[in-house]
A and B are shown apart, each in its own frame.
Chain A
Amino acid sequence: DVKVTQSSRYLVKRTGEKVFLECVQDMDHENMFWYRQDPGLGLRLIYFSYDVKMKEKGDIPEGYSVSREKKERFSLILESASTNQTSMYLCASSSTVIAFFGQGTRLTVV
């Protein structure tokens, strides 16, 4: 079975902190994605990557950056966390068709 693992299930950070969310997949997928999920808004794409060291902005990239130094790992970085970044963050990886998700990280910025 495909496994997508996010480093933390719950995270609490202070305003202004630099935050790293890590995601690792074990199926050699080319494509990896970071979404955030907020009530009533569904899943919104932050960044995605189709190859090592390659990244593309999604719909809401402001305040975020990403890193993909190895194929299996895709990191989301909050440069200076703010309270409006409190959300559920979901990582996904995919082959050419089907996407698989991690368990999600619920981030609270206080």
Chain B
Amino acid sequence: GIQVEQSPPDLILQEGANSTLRCNFSDSVNNLQWFHQNPWGQLINLFYIPSGTKQNGRLSATTVATERYSLLYISSSQTTDSGVYFCAGLSNFGNEKLTFGTGTRLTIIP
């Protein structure tokens, strides 16, 4: 199956700062998604982004499928952005399992 790596593993920022989270894949992937897990454990789907760029408020994501990476941008961070961010994808080669990275833990300090 595909391997998913996320960086950095931990990120601590002051409120108002911008951040970039990265997701690398070991093989061709489709169905790439970004999730945010809040401090209570709930996983929320942020983006479905197999390729290209999408924006939703202060968050945006870019996937370059040919180079096997995706980036999540958070601008003007707020304390409510704290939590763990996961990316996940399906292999293009018939493996139907949605594979997750180990996550980036983001802490926004007031």
A 31-72 binary contact with B (CB < 8 Å = 1; else 0): 001010000111111001010000010110000000000000
* Complex contact A88–B41 (CB within 8 A): yes
**Is the CB–CB distance between B97 and A103 below 8 Å?**
no
Is A40 a contact partner of B42 (Cβ separation < 8 A)? no
**Taking A42-B86, A42-B103 as contacts, is the C-beta distance between A100 and B45 under 8 angstroms?**
yes
CB-CB contacts below 8 Å: B1-52 with A: 1, 31, 33, 35, 40-45, 48
**From B30, which residue of chain A is reached at the shortest CB distance?**
A97
**A43-B86, A97-B31, A98-B48 are known contacts. Are A58 and B97 too (CB-CB below 8 A)?**
yes
How far, in angstroms, from A35 to B48 measured CA to CA in the complex? 19
A74 at the interface (CB under 8 A from B): no
- Which B residues are CB-close (under 8 A) to A21? none
Judged by a CB distance under 8 angstroms, whether A81 is at the interface is no
Given contacts A43-B86, A97-B31, A99-B88, contact A48 B43 (CB under 8 A): no
Indicate with 1 or 0, residue by residue over A74-89, a CB within 8 angstroms of chain B CB atoms. 0000000000000010
Determine the interface band of chain B, counting residues with CB < 8 A from chain A.
Answer: 20 to 34
Asked whether, in the complex, the Cβ of A98 is within 8 Å of the Cβ of B102, the reply is no
In the complex, which range does the number of interface residues on chain A fall in?
A: 20 to 34
Q: In the complex, how many angstroms separate the beta carbon of B89 from the nearest chain A beta carbon?
A: 11
Per the bound structure, the CA–CA distance linking A41 and B41 in Å amounts to 15
B7 to chain A, nearest CB (A): 13
CB within 8 A of A99: which of B1, B41, B45? B45
What would 12 A/B residue contacts be, using CB atoms closer than 8 Å? A33-B98, A40-B102, A41-B102, A42-B102, A43-B86, A45-B97, A45-B98, A45-B99, A90-B43, A92-B98, A97-B48, A101-B44
Contacts A92-B98, A94-B98 known; list 4 others, CB within 8 Å.
Answer: A44-B100, A59-B1, A103-B41, A104-B41
What is A's interface to B at a CB cutoff of 8 Å? 33, 35, 40-45, 48, 50, 56, 58-59, 88, 90, 92, 94, 97-101, 103-104, 106
